[in-house]
Amino acid sequence: MFVSPRRSNPTIASEAIALTRRWRAAAGPRREVPLYEDLVLGELGPMAERCGVLARKAEGWAFMFAGERIEAWIGRTVRSTLLDELPTHARRAIAEAADRALATGTPAAGVANRILDGSVLTVDLTVLPLASRWSSEPWVLVHAAPRRETISLVEAIVRATDDALIGLSALRGADGAVFDFQIVTANEGAARLLGRSRESLAFGRLGEAVEPLAPDIVSRLAGVLESGERISFEIDLPLTGRIVPVRVNAAAFGDLLSLGITDISVFRDREARFRLLYEDNPAPVWVYDVETLRFLEVNRAACDLYGYDRDTFLGLTVLDIRPQSERARAAEIARTVCGSYAASEPFRHLRADGSEIAVLSYARSIEMGGSRAVVVLGVDVTERERAEAKIAHMALHDALTDLPNRVLFRERVDEALSRLRRAGDGVAVLCLDLDHFKAVNDTLGHPVGDKLLTQVAARLTANVREADMVARLSGDEFAIVARDACAPQALDALAQRLVAALDEPFEIDGHQVVIGLSIGIAIAPADGADADTLIKNADIALYRAKAEGRRGYRFFEASMDARLQARRLLELDLREAVRRGELVLHYQPQMDTEHDRITGFEALLRWQHPTRGLVPPADFIPVAEETGLIVPIGEWVVRRACADATAWREPYRVAVNLSPAQFKSKALVASIVHALADTRLPAQRLELEITESVLLAETEGNLATLHALKQLGVKISLDDFGTGYSSLSYLRSFPFDKIKIDRSFVRELSEREDSAAIIRAIAGLGQSLGMATMAEGVETREQLERLRTLGLTEVQGYLLSPPRPADAFPEIAPRITSAERDAADAA
């Protein structure tokens, strides 16, 4: 029976106090160790039962004699026995207290425990140092006071544990088979776990206490009785309101069974958390042995990433997931991980299928099963690397053709130039532009245009050497940086090869597409020592190649740059000219050949330049067309011509040139409507001269514009006929009022008979189509007469008059002079 421990037996304890008090009295103020003869001999009375005297001999402490109770406690007679020969429980406690008493010369206390019959016996020791007249050896008196209560060890343990401990006795049926167990004893832990009082459990049936699991548990425990072996198993115990995972340990003693049930929810929780952190971690985690480099653990994510099943994985070493070329370095790092390690850059790893992935690893050295190991967390950055590479590629390449873009091209030119400075290799830049690309885009659509650019890129790339780079700078602009073979002859050959390659027709979506290539070439260092200058000069040479008729190439020359600069100056100047009102109109008369009567005047633009004098249109109209300045200038011309014509004495027609570039402006029709409305000029007095290039480009839109203009009542004439393509289909596509034959035919009239034949044919054509036919550039009377006989209805040329200010002609001399009119305008 368990009894809670209490203090010593009070009577016996008081003996120790009395003895100590007596010892102190005998020791006196000088604390001399009292004599045995004075303190003990004949003085102990009944206390002698619990006292013993020991002497300190050379071999150790030895009992001289001891009372019965002491001997009973020690478990043998002790007279003249060395302490070392006695049982441990007494020996250690007595020796320790005796040594202390001897060393300090004062009383010492000690406690000795002994386990007897499953109970703990505790004895309080009091040891008093003594001297003796009969011996020089130090002596001690030992008083042993056994405590009154003993402690049941088993009971203490049973009470202290949280586990459920149950003693069971088998209940057997008539056939001797166990059908249940009777609970013989159950501790508090069992009562707590099963939610019942100990009393209600005692002598109850196990099957009732753990009812839902009864058949299962009973049969398993019956098995233990049969086999006599201990068993241990885990089950989920359904208790009121919850399921508790428990571990059951059972051992049989005859027909009795001891059952220990441990609540393992905490371990399960810990296990679940571990699983969450390790096994279910979405990041691949593995542990390897530092010595063998073999995998010791791999989680599911690692198996998924590398494509191995767990067993195969555990048969590999960390080197098996690395490419051959990285294994030596990998082995070195794997063995030297100390503390923690974070990779600063991804490593190449191998998957089971042999594919390579990029992995960033974070590692920490640990101990596992007594050996040094490393736990590694890997982050698969393959996709991220790919995306980064793609973004980097996109930043430097053209999305359509995948050729390097302007940025990368410039970098490569820079790089080639710095090599040029170091190694003296050659560097040349070729700027390329496709001829007629815009027409392809406009007529066949952008998808065809895109395919064309892709095919062009392929042809260009196929015709350069590997060291050279082909880039797409924008739209139909390509460029090549050539290295090494940069002598003019080699570049000549390259340019010819490229022009020829693009001369071959392209086959796109069933269309045969023909384009051409113009190239400008600049060679370093003569044409530029830095990338920007070199590219700019190749571009100037390209501009020149195009100006000289496409499908060709030009090397850069310093004079080209000067010409370009002059052009830029002209452009700036022209803008100012418009603002300062330096543009003026001259007029040239037109005459019919039937009655030799003036029919109208062509307005021709002049630039009254403050320093250059009168600048002819050929010098500035192309610049105005390229820069778009032609739109405001053209509007001004129409408005001025209409205003002038309104002021003429006679209602002659006024002819005005329209540039193809003006047709790009959506406001063309509106600007003419406004000019007519504002100047009140009848529409039929205005004649607009266009060239066939208007019909060549943007056909649909331009035709619609022409119809809209014609709808207003203005006359439309086809200028410069006989130059360019002069397709007769143009005459069919729009009902022109007049065909103006180019002056080159008139000039060659006396020399080439075919010119006369062509003029006659055009005159006939005009007649049958109901269109007037006019010859330009008529300078001589012979020419006039000849043209008259060839059937032309009108003429224009120096023979009548060169273009001059309106007030030079009496027929159209304004009622006020041009100077007066300008002054009025300014006001």
621 in contact with ligand C2E (CB under 6 A) = yes
Instruction: Please state the φ and ψ torsions of residue 303, each to the nearest 5 degrees.
Output: -60, -45
Rounded Cα distance, 732 and 727, in Å:
9
Kindly report the number of other CB atoms within 10 A of residue 388's CB atom.
11
Which H or E run contains 261? strand 256-263
DSSP 505: P
Rounded Cα distance, 24 and 53, in Å:
18
Q: Which stretch binds ligand C2E (CB under 6 A): 361-369, 541-549, 612-620, 761-769?
A: 612-620
Residue closer to ligand C2E (CB basis): 453 or 661: 661
Q: Which of 70, 605, 709, 741 binds ligand C2E (CB under 6 A)?
A: 605
User: Binding mask 732-761 vs ligand C2E (x if CB under 6 A, - otherwise)?
Assistant: -----------x------------------
Q: Which stretch binds ligand C2E (CB under 6 A): 532-540, 546-554, 656-664, 672-680?
A: 656-664
Q: How many residues does the chain have?
A: 827
What minimum distance in Å lies between the beta carbon of 763 and ligand C2E? 19
Residue closer to ligand C2E (CB basis): 689 or 794: 689
What minimum distance in Å lies between the beta carbon of 601 and ligand C2E? 12
Q: What is the dihedral of CA 94, 98, 100, 106, to 10 degrees?
A: 130
How far, in whole angstroms, is CA 235 from its chain's centroid? 49
415 in contact with ligand C2E (CB under 6 A) = no
Q: Which stretch binds ligand C2E (CB under 6 A): 180-188, 559-567, 616-624, 707-715?
A: 616-624
Instruction: Please state the φ and ψ torsions of residue 493, each to the nearest 5 degrees.
Output: -65, -40
- At which residue do the structure tokens 């008081």 appear? 14
Identify whether the C-beta of residue 376 lies closer than 8 Å to the C-beta of residue 286: yes
3-state SS, 550-596, equals CCEEEECCHHHHHHHHHHHHHHHHHHHHHHHCCEEEEEEEEEECCCC
Percent helix, strand and coil across the chain, each rounded to 5? 45, 30, 25
Using DSSP, state whether 121 is helix, strand or coil: strand
Residue 54: burial class (beta carbons within 10 Å; 0-12, 13-18, 19+): buried
| Alpha-carbon distances of 664 from 319, 658, 669, rounded to whole Å | 69, 11, 11
Q: Which of 719, 738, 762, 786 binds ligand C2E (CB under 6 A)?
A: 719
Q: Which stretch binds ligand C2E (CB under 6 A): 28-36, 169-177, 534-542, 777-785?
A: 777-785
720 in contact with ligand C2E (CB under 6 A) = yes
What minimum distance in Å lies between the beta carbon of 722 and ligand C2E? 11
Using DSSP, state whether 811 is helix, strand or coil: coil
Q: Which of 174, 399, 618, 824 binds ligand C2E (CB under 6 A)?
A: 618
34 in contact with ligand C2E (CB under 6 A) = no
User: Binding mask 67-106 vs ligand C2E (x if CB under 6 A, - otherwise)?
Assistant: ----------------------------------------
User: Interface residues for ligand C2E in 585-604 (CB under 6 A)?
Assistant: 588, 604
What minimum distance in Å lies between the beta carbon of 554 and ligand C2E? 27
Residue closer to ligand C2E (CB basis): 233 or 798: 798
Q: 510: left (phi > 0), else alpha (psi -120 to 50), else beta? A: left
Rounded Cα distance, 423 and 416, in Å:
10
Residue closer to ligand C2E (CB basis): 224 or 661: 661
Residue closer to ligand C2E (CB basis): 189 or 797: 797
Cis check: omega of the bond before 616, within 30 degrees of 0? no
DSSP 276: I
777 in contact with ligand C2E (CB under 6 A) = yes
What minimum distance in Å lies between the beta carbon of 779 and ligand C2E? 4
Close Cβ partners of 686 (under 8 Å, ≥ 6 residues apart): 638, 641, 642, 645, 653, 654, 656, 672, 676, 714, 715
Residue closer to ligand C2E (CB basis): 304 or 782: 782
Quote the tokens at residue 482. Answer: 């050539």
622 in contact with ligand C2E (CB under 6 A) = no
Identify whether the C-beta of residue 121 lies closer than 8 Å to the C-beta of residue 69: no
Residue closer to ligand C2E (CB basis): 616 or 651: 616
Q: Which of 617, 632, 682, 791 binds ligand C2E (CB under 6 A)?
A: 617
Close Cβ partners of 805 (under 8 Å, ≥ 6 residues apart): 584, 586, 587, 818
Identify whether the C-beta of residue 91 lies closer than 8 Å to the C-beta of residue 81: no
What minimum distance in Å lies between the beta carbon of 690 and ligand C2E? 9
Rounded Cα distance, 563 and 559, in Å:
6
803 in contact with ligand C2E (CB under 6 A) = yes
What minimum distance in Å lies between the beta carbon of 568 and ligand C2E? 21
Q: Which stretch binds ligand C2E (CB under 6 A): 36-44, 347-355, 610-618, 758-766?
A: 610-618
Residue closer to ligand C2E (CB basis): 317 or 801: 801
Which H or E run contains 520? strand 516-524
738, 617, 650: which is closest to 687 by C-alpha? 738
Residue closer to ligand C2E (CB basis): 62 or 605: 605
What minimum distance in Å lies between the beta carbon of 673 and ligand C2E? 19
Q: Which stretch binds ligand C2E (CB under 6 A): 96-104, 453-461, 705-713, 774-782?
A: 774-782
Quote the tokens at residue 396. Answer: 């430097």
Quote the tokens at residue 107. Answer: 């009383």
Rounded Cα distance, 258 and 75, in Å:
33
Q: Which stretch binds ligand C2E (CB under 6 A): 71-79, 204-212, 464-472, 794-802?
A: 794-802
Identify whether the C-beta of residue 818 lies closer than 8 Å to the C-beta of residue 825: no
Q: Which stretch binds ligand C2E (CB under 6 A): 393-401, 534-542, 724-732, 776-784?
A: 776-784
Q: Which of 797, 806, 809, 812 binds ligand C2E (CB under 6 A)?
A: 797
Q: Which of 184, 779, 791, 807 binds ligand C2E (CB under 6 A)?
A: 779
Q: Which of 132, 150, 441, 657 binds ligand C2E (CB under 6 A)?
A: 657
Q: Which of 90, 305, 637, 645 binds ligand C2E (CB under 6 A)?
A: 637
Q: Which stretch binds ligand C2E (CB under 6 A): 277-285, 349-357, 381-389, 652-660?
A: 652-660
What minimum distance in Å lies between the beta carbon of 662 and ligand C2E? 7
Identify whether the C-beta of residue 712 lies closer than 8 Å to the C-beta of residue 704: no
What minimum distance in Å lies between the beta carbon of 776 and ligand C2E? 6
Q: How many residues bind ligand C2E (CB under 6 A)?
A: 24
What minimum distance in Å lies between the beta carbon of 821 and ligand C2E? 18
- List residues near ligand C2E by CB under 6 A: 588, 604-605, 616-618, 621, 634, 637, 657-659, 689, 719-720, 743, 776-779, 796-798, 803
